[in-house]
Amino acid sequence: MALPGRLPSKIYPTISGAKARPTPDAPLDAGQCRAYFKVMTVRAIIEVPDERLKTISTPVDAVTDDTRALMDDMVDTMYAANGIGLAAIQVGVSQRIVVMDISPSEEEVADGDASGDDAPSREDRYDLDGLEEEKLRYFVNPEITWVSDEMANYQEGCLSVPGFYDDVERPAQCRVKFLDYHGVEQEIDCDGLLATCIQHELDHLNGIVFLDHLSRLKRQMILKKIRKASRDAEVA
């Protein structure tokens, strides 16, 4: 999933390779050292109207080192595109795997700090509910086991539908059961942006993109614009 106002990150390169060396006058902190030595693998993200996005992904038998390597690549890919969630099918792998980080980007944190005491706190803006410590989340074989009657509206975007955002109504809260990065079964209650994002990503595992929640007219209009843009890109 993508949020309006977030552009692809300038921090991360968009092709595979090591993270850029920090400028010599900037002091290195531990995080930068780790990032510098970690080789990133950014995979290509499939975009609509690619038929592969309609695939129903298959459950993962066991969380192995291969599964974790795929999840690591998905995380690099999600951050490089400045997304907040990514399903494996979006990089062409039809396994029931999702990665997610709904915490505010560095730019959003800086904006929040700059806007003074009257500005809503990050927690309020993102409805994080104290979940910030666990920034990065991994969901293998996620299943929604409960949804609230209460509904919520969020302006959603998608890394597979770049540049388009629209309101989607979904249950405001849900409970999700899944295997974590280590293959351990977990169950969590989700609210706010987390609830919206997990439902958006679970849709991907079932071959659904957020456009399918919009009116037929809106969906066709967006798809027409995307087809035109890709035709124009071919000509250029």
Residues 158-177 that bind Zn ion (CB under 5 A): 158
Residue whose C-alpha is closest to residue 83's, from 133, 57, 45, 112: 45
Residue whose token pair is 């209460």: 150
Question: Among all residues, whose Cβ is closest to Zn ion?
Answer: 158
For the CB of residue 33, give the shortest distance to Zn ion in the complex, in Å: 33
Residue closer to Zn ion by CB (options 35, 136) is: 136
For the CB of residue 52, give the shortest distance to Zn ion in the complex, in Å: 13
- Pairwise CA distance, residues 1 & 84, whole Å: 6
The stretch near Zn ion (CB under 5 A) out of 112-120, 136-144, 157-165, 171-179 is: 157-165
Sheet of 137-147: strand order equals: 85-87, 97-100, 137-147, 174-179, 185-190
- Pairwise CA distance, residues 98 & 81, whole Å: 15
The stretch near Zn ion (CB under 5 A) out of 1-9, 102-110, 131-139, 223-231 is: 1-9
By CB under 5 A, residue 53 contacts Zn ion: no
Known catalytic residue at 201: yes
Residue whose C-alpha is closest to residue 48's, from 89, 16, 8: 89
**By the criterion CB under 5 A, which residues form the site for Zn ion?**
1, 158
Catalytic positions, please?
201
